[in-house]
């Protein structure tokens, strides 16, 4: 599930501050806490990608594999209790989250509902 584009990219404990918290000052950043062994994580990924693409760069998606390196510390810091968990950050703060696989239309509506102010500002 590795990817690297302007809107969808991998993050880890070392670049989380810059690529998520600092970057969320300009536009919302969703962080997908996932694991390679997690079936629902793999089911969610294409729906997340399409929802991000539908927002034409107004929202970014950072993928954080919880079992890789020291990334579990970040999952603990943000009280992630299961994967997949998606947390939306805006202005360096957590805004809202959801857990488990969801269909693309649900994710798009969730982004629009919870990040509408951020989307208008970015």
Is 83 strand, coil or helix?
Answer: coil
**Catalytic residue, candidates 31, 38, 59, 74:** 38
41 is known as an active-site residue: yes
Question: 38 near 64, Cβ under 8 Å?
Answer: no
Is 34 strand, coil or helix?
Answer: strand
Please report the beta strands in the chain, taking only residues with DSSP state E, as ranges in sequence order. 8-10, 29-34, 60-65, 85-90, 93-99
**Catalytic residue, candidates 30, 41, 45, 88:** 41
* CA torsion angle 78 83 86 91 (round to 10): 20
65 is known as an active-site residue: no
- Residues classed as catalytic: 38, 41
């Amino acid at each position: 599930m590795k990817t690297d584009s302007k809107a969808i990219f991998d993050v880890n404990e070392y670049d989380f501050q810059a690529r998520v918290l600092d970057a969320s000052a300009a536009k919302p950043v969703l962080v997908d806490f996932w694991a390679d062994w997690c079936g629902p994580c793999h089911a969610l990924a294409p729906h997340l990608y399409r929802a991000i693409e539908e927002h034409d760069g107004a929202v970014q998606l950072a993928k954080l594999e919880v079992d890789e390196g020291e990334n579990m510390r970040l999952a603990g810091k943000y009280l992630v209790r299961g994967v997949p968990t998606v947390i939306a950050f805006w202005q360096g703060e957590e805004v809202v989250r959801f857990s488990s696989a969801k269909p693309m239309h649900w994710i798009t509506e969730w982004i629009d509902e919870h990040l509408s102010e951020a989307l208008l500002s970015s």
